[in-house]
Amino acid sequence: MMENNTMLGKTVVLLCKMTEGLGLVFDLLEKMNSVEGERWRENLAKFLRKEPCWGSGQVTQVTQPKPTPSILELVGTTTISATTGKFVAKEKFMVGTKHNAPVKISYLNDDFITSFLQCDSKIENPVGEHILGHYKLRRSSPDDLIIAELGGLEKVETTLSEIFFVMKDKKKRDILRRCRNIFYIKDISGALRVIDVEVYEDRLCIYAYPIGNSIWHSGDCVFC
């Protein structure tokens, strides 16, 4: 009885395989008689000869895009002390190079004067203690690439009080490189502008420009 069951089971399995095989054969015959029958016949012949079929036989190599290298290198941070009163720009940013000047500023360009010092002047609220990062540009880049890498407009914005704090503190001033030092600050109207602070011996020149008008060079420093 057990032997009969075994034989029956094997027969059922064989019939199933034959049915499945016949199904594949009928499917193949259907495809060979279709509009693309010629292609099916050619590739079936290649398959039977154990030749590559349905393609060139070569494995397509997918080239992964190389990651875009960073344009900025973090070179350091500095702590900006908390302030208690409002910062009035026109009371701090004045041309003066005498020995008793709090900050020796030898030049302010017209754009800076118009954007931050005219009318009611740019006034900034007190801020808590925080960290200001400074980055070195690895290659020449426009403002939009720099801003994007630093995280967008909200992340990149700094203040005039931060610039003044760094310029006034002799120890902090060393972070201003002998190159262009770049800050992104909102002007009186609320539009973001780029500020360039340049160091000449112990004197400073400050320039303001519209965003997107400049290409900053490798080695320039960006503050964020």
Confidence of residue 200 (pLDDT cuts 50, 70, 90): confident
209 half-sphere exposure, CB direction, 13 A CA radius: 16
pLDDT score for 136: 95
Distance (Å, whole) CA 198 – CA 217: 14
Query: What phi and psi values does residue 86 have, to the nearest 5 degrees?
Result: -70, 145
Strand 141-142, strand 87-88: pairing: unpaired
pLDDT score for 29: 67
Q: pTM, whole model, 2 decimals?
A: 0.68
Distance (Å, whole) CA 66 – CA 194: 31
Distance (Å, whole) CA 107 – CA 146: 26
Q: Which of 5-19, 52-66, 91-105 has the lowest mean pLDDT?
A: 5-19
Distance (Å, whole) CA 87 – CA 89: 6
Query: Do residues 221 and 158 make contact, with C-beta atoms less than 8 angstroms apart?
Result: no
The answer for 94, left when phi > 0, alpha when psi is -120 to 50, beta otherwise, is beta
Q: Please state, in angstroms and as integers, the Cα–Cα distance from residue 206 to each residue in 4, 20, 83, 112, 151, following that order.
A: 101, 83, 23, 8, 25
Mean pLDDT computed over 141-153: 94
Which residue ranges make up each domain of the chain? 2-48, 72-223
Sign of CA dihedral 213, 97, 75, 116: negative
Confidence of residue 98 (pLDDT cuts 50, 70, 90): confident
Residue 142 confidence (pLDDT) above 80:
yes
Distance (Å, whole) CA 82 – CA 128: 4
pLDDT score for 2: 42
Query: Do residues 83 and 126 make contact, with C-beta atoms less than 8 angstroms apart?
Result: yes
Mean pLDDT computed over 202-206: 88
pLDDT score for 8: 47
Mean pLDDT computed over 112-116: 95
Taking only Cα atoms into account, the Rg of the chain, rounded to an integer number of angstroms, comes to 36
What b/e readout covers 86-110, taking b as 16+ CB neighbours within 10 angstroms?
ebbbeebbeeeeeeeeebbbeebee
Distance (Å, whole) CA 210 – CA 136: 21
- Going through 84-224 in order, the beta strands assigned E by DSSP cover 87-88, 105-108, 123-124, 130-137, 141-142, 180-186, 192-200, 203-210, 215-216, 221-223
pLDDT tens digits, 13-65: 444 455 555 556 656 667 667 767 677 677 777 777 767 776 654 544 556 66
